[in-house]
């Protein structure tokens, strides 16, 4: 088992919240809501404690797994590159495949796939760079 920098994993877990606030807010919020058929009222009905709690848990698992793949052997630059490959090559493409079968729009694919590509790039940068 690789030596894990737990502070880096926690920081990497939190990066999705910061990016998501901007990405699904002022940057692409209206486009995303339209692509999933959600209104502002629908969004406000959600159990935010549940959403944020599970979001942190899931992002923690993702950051931990990324750190395990790195094995403590990558730089910040390599971490960002491998994080991008993970976000774009695996996560965004998986979202794309599902979205095609679900008959979602390309806008949906680009918004969600782009988000995870950015988040994993930053996760990799943090995990690779925090020694």
Sequence-distant (6+) residues with CB within 8 A of 125 are 76, 79, 80, 83
Q: 71-104 in b/e burial notation, b at 16+ Cβ within 10 A?
A: eeebeeeebbbbbbebbbeebbeebbeebeeeeb
Each residue's pLDDT tens digit, 73-112: 899 999 999 999 999 999 999 999 999 999 999 999 999 9
Give the count of alpha carbons within 13 A of 5, CB side only. 19
Return d(Cα 31, Cα 107) in angstroms, integer.
8
Tens of pLDDT, residues 43-68: 889 899 999 999 999 999 999 999 99
**In the block, residue with structure tokens 């629908």:** 42
Q: How far apart are alpha carbons 76 and 119 in whole angstroms?
A: 14
Separation of alpha carbons 67 and 128, rounded Å:
8
pTM (two decimals): 0.94
């Amino acid at each position: 088992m690789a030596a894990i920098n737990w502070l880096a994993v926690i920081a990497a877990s939190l990066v999705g919240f910061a990016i998501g606030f901007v990405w699904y807010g002022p940057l692409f919020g209206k486009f995303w809501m339209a692509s999933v058929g959600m209104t502002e009222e629908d969004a406000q009905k959600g159990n935010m404690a549940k959403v944020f709690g599970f979001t942190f848990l899931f992002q923690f698992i993702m950051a931990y797994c990324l750190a395990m793949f790195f094995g403590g052997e990558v730089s910040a630059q390599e971490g960002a590159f491998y994080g991008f490959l993970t976000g774009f090559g695996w996560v965004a493409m998986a979202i794309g495949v599902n979205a095609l079968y679900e008959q979602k729009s390309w806008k949906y694919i680009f918004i969600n796939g782009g988000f995870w590509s950015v988040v994993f790039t930053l996760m990799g940068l943090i995990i690779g760079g925090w020694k």
